[in-house]
């Protein structure tokens, strides 16, 4: 069964966070500067902090969507959807968040990465028991905890969610 077909529980997603994203910065620090630069370039970014910005920006977007889905009306009006989630392509969103954080130091980016990761973990812990029965919510959270990690997995890191 592929990751996309598997239904993950809250505990599965929390375990994936623990094994993957929560180990990300220490594993990144274990790479040499040259290895980090090659990694960022291989990911399509000029700097490691651009990769980190990309990652936490998607977490923040997913957290907003997930909270809205859990607590808001079941269907957003088109103008509400656009206000919460601007009509951008994935590439436009990625480019915009990197530009927006261009002046941030690596330390500031890493601090925000840790805070956004804590917010994602707290969202998972606080979800109502039945929340992951909603396929959209399950997919968004699976993507952020497992799929996106696999996409940006460091060369010295194990796979998660198998």
Q: What is the pTM of this model?
A: 0.87
State whether residue 136 is helix, strand or coil: helix
pLDDT at 4: 60
Contact 136, 144 (CB under 8 A): no
pLDDT at 29: 97
Cα–Cα distance list, 141 to 40, 51, 65, 132 (Å): 24, 19, 10, 9
Taking only the tens of pLDDT, the chain with its 162 residues reads: 455 678 899 999 999 999 999 999 999 999 999 999 999 999 999 999 999 999 999 999 999 888 888 886 655 555 555 555 556 788 888 999 999 999 999 999 999 999 999 999 999 999 988 899 988 899 989 999 999 999 999 999 999 976
User: Contacts by 7-15 with C-beta closer than 8 Å and gap 24+?
Assistant: 7/132, 7/138, 8/132, 8/138, 8/141, 8/142, 8/145, 8/146, 8/161, 9/132, 10/124, 10/125, 10/127, 10/132, 12/161, 13/124, 13/141, 13/142, 13/145, 13/146, 14/121, 14/124, 14/125, 15/160
pLDDT at 1: 46
**Cβ neighbours of residue 70 closer than 8 Å, sequence gap 6 or more:** 127, 128, 131, 137
Distance CA 11, CA 47 (A): 33
Contact 59, 116 (CB under 8 A): yes
**Cβ neighbours of residue 55 closer than 8 Å, sequence gap 6 or more:** 113, 148, 152
Domains of the chain and any CATH numbers: 15-151 (1.20.120)
């Amino acid at each position: 069964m592929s990751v996309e077909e598997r239904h993950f529980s809250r505990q599965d997603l929390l375990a994936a966070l623990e094994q993957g994203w929560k180990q990300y910065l220490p594993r990144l620090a274990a790479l040499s500067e040259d290895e980090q630069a090659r990694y960022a370039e291989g990911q399509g970014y000029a700097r490691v902090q651009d990769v980190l910005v990309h990652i936490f920006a998607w977490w923040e977007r997913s957290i907003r969507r997930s909270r809205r889905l859990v607590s808001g009306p079941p269907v957003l009006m088109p103008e509400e959807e656009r206000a919460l989630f601007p009509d951008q392509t994935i590439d436009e969103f990625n480019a915009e968040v990197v530009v927006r954080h261009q002046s941030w130091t690596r330390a500031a980016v890493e601090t925000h990465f840790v805070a956004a990761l804590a917010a994602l973990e707290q969202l998972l812990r606080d979800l109502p028991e039945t929340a992951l029965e909603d396929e959209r919510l399950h997919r968004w959270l699976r993507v952020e905890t497992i799929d996106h990690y696999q996409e940006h997995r460091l060369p010295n890191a194990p796979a998660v969610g198998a």
